[in-house]
Structure 1
Amino acid sequence: MIFLRMILLILWGLSLIRADDLNLIEVNRWAAGPCYVAITDGDTLAFVGNGSAVDVLSIRHVNAPQLVGRVRVPEGIPVDLAYQNGILYVLRKTNGLLIVDVSDLQQPQVLGTFDVGGDPNHLAVQGNYVYLTYTDQDLYVVDVSQPTNPFYVAQLYLPGNGGGLFLQDSLAYVACFSAGLNLVDISEPTNPSLIATIDTYGAAWDVYVQDGIAYMADDTGVEVIDVSNPAAPDSLQRLGLTGEVRAIVGNGSDRLFVAAKQAGIHEIDMSNPREIHLARSYEKIAAYNVWRQQSHLYVASYNQGMHILETAYLDSIQHMAHYETGAGAADIAVTDRYLYVAGYENGLYVVDLAATPFPQTVGRFPSHDATVSVDVEGNLLFLSDQVGFLRQLDVTNPAQPTEIGFFDYGQQISSYHVQIGQKYVYSCAGYNGWFAVDKYGTGELQAVMHWSMGVDVQESFVRNDTLALLAAGFGGMYLLNVADTSQVVTLSHFTVPDIYVTDIFAEGHYAYVNNRDSLYIIDISDSTQPVVVGRYFAGNYINDIVVRDGLAYLACSYNGLLVLDVSDPANPQPVAQFSDNIDEVTAVAVQGNRVYLSDYLAGVYILEWTTTGIESPTPQTVRQFRLLPNYPNPFNPTTTIAYHLPRSSRVELAVLNLLGQKIRTLVSAWQPAGRHQAVWDGRDDAGQPVASGVYLYRLRSGSETQTRKMLLLK
């Protein structure tokens, strides 16, 4: 942190480096999130969605897949994938198409992006064109002949929300949920046309076509449709199935394999398309998507990861292998070597940060219910399950965390947060109050302190085993004297109108407390009379607070990480932000020059401090043209817009109204490669304030353009 103090001294005292040049860049990522999709390259590689990443597995030994590469996906969860000639096409939830060169698995290169907004569902590749379906009832055709510059060539309005699609020769078969099956002529990709539509019994999620017959996954079964005459599709039969049918694939012969969310995999005999029937099922896993290579099925199972099944046996479908992804990250703790992640229903993850080329999970411990909080000191670790238990683990061997003690709150009491103190371990149990247990006990631990005032205690910060600060939801903040374990004394209570406190931290004479989306800095030098000395509106709900060396790190829900200079508590100022998060950020930890930020769906981002002038981006960062979400959003009256340039070029950053009319040019200049940002003050080019409402901001560089939305709310 001495390095950071030197930088800030230059910023404040000498004014040689602007504050907006101080950056946090992502240097690595531990991926742990839902698996929506898994595919193969048709040979020895599998590509598996894992939260905000695509993990590349060697499947030479299909019963023991090995992680050999990882694509860090910016700004989106992979919901569909396609592979062709060394290029991976990634469809991201809410952020469109990402094109990645994976010919070198150690250094995957982002080549290009395409996005029209909205919520994309599926993609398919044929030749130089990618076909995308969206829930806004559109089919988009994108020319990817130059992967670094994909561009839109056609858009076709569909009568229903676009779902799964199957391409065969000059036809696209599109599952359109409430609008059944849509047949589209794509003989001219730049001018697709709708040929016919046929309704299905249930919501049409996916489609597979073979020998002039379309097989529809329609939520509660499989519908068989004769499409030999594309202009007049005809329904032949329907087979009802259990478990929310979502995806379908065939073996090119006489079998269909159907993914059902709650019922696993159904194998269908389709040797006679007019009389298909259920042959057998494998119901031990969840199934959100399915891919077939030879006799093997690769099943995307959401928070269960990816399963590989063998269908060659005559008696039953056999489980071959399981590749675990995750269920997101609720909380984190870090040491010099290891990262400890509270992973909800997937329990505790122990992650080796020294592993190369990316952090590796080396140990696991199951949850009793859902693991929501973790703290570690040396080889002693405590974790909190959401309902009922505080667990004490020995992590001397990180590969085999061992339970050595537990504390049972009883009566199915909810628990939230855990902190290891000097002698005791402190845990919060909502309306059942706050507990302290002996740090060095074993077996069934006993409470040495308990405090309850009928308020919702969600987090605590205890200093020197003497002063406890409690975040009590609508009850505000309580300060307790806990020096005498036989008598907890309430020293003071802090509240303001409409308060809701869930996170708290203390350093020096100050407490740092969230009130929803605002940070309060409170002087607690007199613990009987806390006084607010500073406040900062973060623009989004603050889920976690850490303060180190005059910097406050705020995990701001969907807006990512915000870092404030709080050396002057009365005047907190932003110095850096990281807003490339995929979903809601849940916790932050600081260790040396690195910052760890957990994301509900993505895993953990590993960030490092740098300045624009000395940044050494990773290959993925260098190749990416990216316009980031503005911060804060909504805003009044100013907001910051950041963007990445893969190369030096002339740039225009402009603000537009919803009619596409330019109202303010923020940047029009030649700029070097790297990260840049600009501030909009809510005024037009004439200097006049604009009205409240939704505005667009557009970045242009050469042939590349990206546009996002922001909300000015006065």
Structure 2
Amino acid sequence: MRVLPHVILAVSVCGASVFSPSVQAVDAVSMEYVGSTLWSGVNDVAGQGNYLYAACQYGLQIIDISNTAQPTLVSQLYLPPGGFIGIAVQGGLSYLAANAAGVAIIDVSDPANPHLLSWCDTPGSASAVAVNGSYLYVTDAWAGLHVVDVADPEHPVIKGSYDTPGDARDIALFGEYVLVADGYDGGLQVINVALPELPYPAGGYDTDGIARGVTVEGNLAYVADADGGVVILDLTDPTGPVRLSTFPASTFLRNAGDVAVYESVVYYVGGYLKVVDASDPDNPQAPDTLEGLGYFTRVSVFGDQLIALEPTRGVSILDLRNPLAPLLLGQYRMAGAVTQIAAIGNTLAVGDDPNGMHLLDATNPSRPEEIGFVPALMQCLGVAGHGNYAYFVDADSGTHIIDISDASHPSEVGRFWSTGRDLEITSNSGFLSVSGYPDGNSFYSLVDPANPSKIGSYNASYAGRAACDGRRGYIAAHFYGFQIANLVDSQAAFLEWKLPTTGWIADVVLDSQWLYLAHEASGLFIVDISDPSNPEVIGGYGLGGLPGSKHALGIARADNLAFLALDADGVWAIDVADPSKPQLVAAYNTLGNASRVAVSGDYVYVADEYGVVVVRVNHPTDVLDESPDGLPNGLQLAQNYPNPFNPRTNIEFSLARKSHVLLAIYNILGEEVAELINGDLTAGTHRVGWDGRDARGNAVASGVYLYRLSVEGKTMAKKMLLLK
């Protein structure tokens, strides 16, 4: 669910230090999504015409495969709350299964400009979809099967449901029947849907393992049965499926997750692709395992092509004209796990585990485009940059120095090993810090960035991310707390100060006399190092919630703000203008797992596992109508702008004094759609954005909405128009 700016009370405990920030007023600072790139996490595909439609963690991607040797991205639609795992396409509509969020219905009549039409909220966790005519069929995990009338795609209606005995996972259509792969307890379920309002069980087959996938060819059903292998069933009588054969479980057949069939040849995955000649379904041939193509999780047939998915590498297209010997035609490559990021001027260096380092042109900061790539020999563990050079750590092959003066043609100009196996890397103000196992942190001067000069090293027991000012190394030593190493004598560095902590210091930023620490469990710590021999922890901001419910993994600084990457909770902006009293001013919940963050101007770039998310920071606006003492005259509510809008608008209001404020959005029926603010605000002008979504994060329909401001018994309201 997206996090709108709101009042938060947080308490953090770390060692002997306790930070209990008071409830802070929501300022006009806000963060909004403006773009994303380097998507990974493809979970399912469907084909139509010259296009593949991919269900990804972030939303929908449309890929042009008219030239199968070079598939190209046509468009993508970033769609909260994310987590899309199933897809079907018919005509100009695409249907995406989104777990607990239900099913998104998207207009794809113009592949270059897909847009959301509606959501169908299902009671369970939507995992797979199939469509035929005006009916959509949804497997909904513990809630079974739903039949949805989509004759009016902007207003889908669940017409009927059947609660299967197991955990409905996959779906296939067979005449007036729907076949459901029903997990551990249900095997294969055959559901009669001739009457959409009254679907009922017509038959089934109890497989030996966990039924995860199902497909149909002719009168035969093929069930991917996890540890049970693949089961072939005769559906001549759908009410009594008959097992013909099973590819038994074995070392290389375990974890069968999905299955596809083309001209009686079976393809199934859960690792390497297996090919089985099942022209005699009673006696299929031994499977042939194709290890060189990839490690796949899903397969499907589209025309005479096999589409195979690797969530962290992308889509492979195979030629099936010789079904027993599929040949690779082309690949649509995607990023792997995006875990590292650094801003180097107008270039972003992005660490992609396991593939390498991507270089993005961020001249247009909201739409960074990939222009270069440096492959990893084994595994990209960290990235950093300075001037015209990028540095990235490749597991077991050291730190690589890359000239990016022409980022479209990066070239390696050197490589070095620090101590032990290089693990992480950071840079700041002309210094480079590299952590290695088992020998600690090494620090380098970047006076000559093509040839870093070693200043010294220190073993902090557990090497982590670090910063350096030339005389000292500031080390986030993970579970060993935070440590400051004196590097004046490069041959005899020593521990000068240590902050013991309970838990894990994940990241550190050095900014003049201040150190900003990201504590994994407790949040932000601010350390005054104006007297390096006697540092002092002077402020902090806790994560709040239940212990262990949030995780601070990365930190960046810009202007008066510190940005925390908070794993599954996205990114927070914390005002640190007064380091002794930091306050949360904005938050944005990305759709992945935020691990690192970089800042350039008003733009925040988040390494979010499933891609790079770009968030813009919107700063306070000027006061609208001031009295002589600089405060607004009375309560004021301005007309939203822009108006009409699509999909985002801004609402400004002014308070003459500190007050409790409730600002909410309502539809024309008077039903509350979203609550934007409910808390105490200071006197002055405030601005908050609304992105056209309800409290659950679902996009609302076009129409007239009201925004109502309630302050100390006074209420003001105005209309606004959302046009899509």
Deviations 1:367-414 (A, max 9, x none): 233212211123211112355622211123323322222222465x35
Corresponding residue to 1:558 among 558, 564, 568: 568
1:136 aligned residue: 142
- How far off its partner does 1:444 sit? 9.7
1:297 aligned residue: 306
Deviations 1:522-545 (A, max 9, x none): 222112222222221123211111
TM-score (normalizing by structure 1) = 0.80
Structure 1 residues 516-595: aligned runs within 5 Å: 516-539=521-544, 540-579=550-589, 581-595=590-604
Question: What letter matches 1:485 in structure 2?
Answer: S
Deviations 1:479-532 (A, max 9, x none): 233355344343322224x24212112323322113323212222211222222
Corresponding residue to 2:257 among 241, 246, 262: 246
1:628 aligned residue: none
Preserved contact between residue 440 and residue 459 of structure 2 (Cα < 8 Å)? yes
Q: Which piece of structure 1 moves more, 393-402 or 610-619?
A: 610-619
CA distance in 2 between counterparts of 1:617 and 1:323 reads: 40
Preserved contact between residue 338 and residue 609 of structure 2 (Cα < 8 Å)? yes
- How far off its partner does 1:151 sit? 3.6
2:690 aligned residue: 674
2:517 aligned residue: 513
2:685 aligned residue: none
Preserved contact between residue 458 and residue 502 of structure 1 (Cα < 8 Å)? yes
Question: What letter matches 2:690 in structure 1?
Answer: G
Q: Secondary structure at the match of 2:568?
A: helix
1:207 aligned residue: 214
2:3 aligned residue: none
Q: Secondary structure at the match of 1:557?
A: coil
Deviations 1:447-482 (A, max 9, x none): 5411114x213111223x233221112222222333
- How far off its partner does 1:34 sit? 2.3
Unpaired stretches in structure 1, ≥5 consecutive residues: 1-17, 624-639, 656-664, 679-695, 705-714
**Does 1 or 2 have the higher relative contact order (CA < 8 Å, sep 6+)?**
2
Question: What letter matches 1:113 in structure 2?
Answer: W
- How far off its partner does 1:363 sit? 1.9
Structure 2 CA distance for partners of 1:282 and 1:620, relative to 1, 3 Å: farther
Alignment of 1:125 onto 2:136? no
Preserved contact between residue 692 and residue 699 of structure 2 (Cα < 8 Å)? no
Structure 1 residues 80-95: aligned runs within 5 Å: 80-95=86-101
- How far off its partner does 1:286 sit? 1.9
2:360 aligned residue: 351
Structure 1 residues 62-73: aligned runs within 5 Å: 62-73=68-79
Corresponding residue to 2:475 among 466, 470, 490: 470
Deviations 1:595-620 (A, max 9, x none): 11121124333434267988779998
- How far off its partner does 1:81 sit? 1.1
Structure 2 CA distance for partners of 1:124 and 1:552, relative to 1, 3 Å: same
2:327 aligned residue: 318
CA distance in 2 between counterparts of 1:401 and 1:316 reads: 38
Preserved contact between residue 167 and residue 182 of structure 2 (Cα < 8 Å)? yes
CA distance in 2 between counterparts of 1:698 and 1:571 reads: 31
Preserved contact between residue 52 and residue 77 of structure 1 (Cα < 8 Å)? yes
CA distance in 2 between counterparts of 1:257 and 1:622 reads: 48
CA distance in 1 between counterparts of 2:453 and 2:689 reads: 58
Q: Secondary structure at the match of 2:256?
A: strand
- How far off its partner does 1:560 sit? 0.8
CA distance in 1 between counterparts of 2:347 and 2:450 reads: 25
Corresponding residue to 2:35 among 5, 8, 28: 28
Preserved contact between residue 265 and residue 287 of structure 1 (Cα < 8 Å)? no
Count of aligned residue pairs for this structure pair: 632
1:341 aligned residue: 350
Preserved contact between residue 512 and residue 520 of structure 1 (Cα < 8 Å)? yes
CA-atom RMSD, angstroms?
A: 3.7
CA distance in 2 between counterparts of 1:246 and 1:339 reads: 36
Question: What letter matches 2:425 in structure 1?
Answer: H
CA distance in 1 between counterparts of 2:642 and 2:380 reads: 36
- How far off its partner does 1:591 sit? 0.5
CA distance in 2 between counterparts of 1:248 and 1:311 reads: 15
2:383 aligned residue: 374
CA distance in 1 between counterparts of 2:450 and 2:388 reads: 17
Q: Secondary structure at the match of 1:343?
A: strand
Q: Secondary structure at the match of 1:429?
A: strand
Preserved contact between residue 394 and residue 401 of structure 1 (Cα < 8 Å)? yes
- How far off its partner does 1:138 sit? 1.8
Structure 1 residues 487-506: aligned runs within 5 Å: 487-496=492-501, 498-506=502-510
Preserved contact between residue 281 and residue 317 of structure 1 (Cα < 8 Å)? no
Structure 2 CA distance for partners of 1:526 and 1:153, relative to 1, 3 Å: farther
Structure 2 CA distance for partners of 1:58 and 1:97, relative to 1, 3 Å: same
Structure 2 CA distance for partners of 1:160 and 1:388, relative to 1, 3 Å: same
Structure 2 CA distance for partners of 1:401 and 1:529, relative to 1, 3 Å: same
Structure 2 CA distance for partners of 1:305 and 1:642, relative to 1, 3 Å: farther
Preserved contact between residue 214 and residue 226 of structure 1 (Cα < 8 Å)? yes
1:418 aligned residue: 426
CA distance in 1 between counterparts of 2:604 and 2:235 reads: 56
Preserved contact between residue 329 and residue 601 of structure 1 (Cα < 8 Å)? yes
Question: What letter matches 1:60 in structure 2?
Answer: S
Question: What letter matches 1:276 in structure 2?
Answer: P
CA distance in 1 between counterparts of 2:663 and 2:42 reads: 30
Question: What letter matches 1:143 in structure 2?
Answer: D
Q: Secondary structure at the match of 1:398?
A: coil
2:104 aligned residue: 98
CA distance in 2 between counterparts of 1:355 and 1:507 reads: 27
Question: What letter matches 2:89 in structure 1?
Answer: Y
Question: What letter matches 1:552 in structure 2?
Answer: A
CA distance in 2 between counterparts of 1:673 and 1:216 reads: 48
Preserved contact between residue 55 and residue 96 of structure 2 (Cα < 8 Å)? no
Unpaired stretches in structure 2, ≥5 consecutive residues: 1-24, 545-549, 622-638, 650-660, 680-687, 704-724
- How far off its partner does 1:430 sit? 5.2
Question: What letter matches 1:234 in structure 2?
Answer: V
- How far off its partner does 1:351 sit? 2.0
Q: Secondary structure at the match of 2:211?
A: coil
Corresponding residue to 1:266 among 272, 275, 280: 275
Alignment of 1:44 onto 2:50? yes
CA distance in 1 between counterparts of 2:662 and 2:418 reads: 47
2:14 aligned residue: none
Q: Secondary structure at the match of 2:505?
A: coil
Structure 2 CA distance for partners of 1:415 and 1:95, relative to 1, 3 Å: same
CA distance in 1 between counterparts of 2:281 and 2:54 reads: 32
1:630 aligned residue: none
Corresponding residue to 2:65 among 51, 59, 74: 59
2:719 aligned residue: none
CA distance in 2 between counterparts of 1:611 and 1:110 reads: 31
Question: What letter matches 2:379 in structure 1?
Answer: A
Preserved contact between residue 32 and residue 328 of structure 1 (Cα < 8 Å)? no
Preserved contact between residue 222 and residue 231 of structure 2 (Cα < 8 Å)? yes
1:77 aligned residue: 83
Deviations 1:329-379 (A, max 9, x none): 111112443221101111111123358995433222222332122111232
CA distance in 2 between counterparts of 1:282 and 1:410 reads: 40
Alignment of 1:360 onto 2:369? yes
1:636 aligned residue: none
Question: What letter matches 1:144 in structure 2?
Answer: V
1:4 aligned residue: none
CA distance in 2 between counterparts of 1:367 and 1:565 reads: 37
CA distance in 1 between counterparts of 2:341 and 2:211 reads: 40
CA distance in 1 between counterparts of 2:605 and 2:267 reads: 39
Question: What letter matches 2:559 in structure 1?
Answer: D
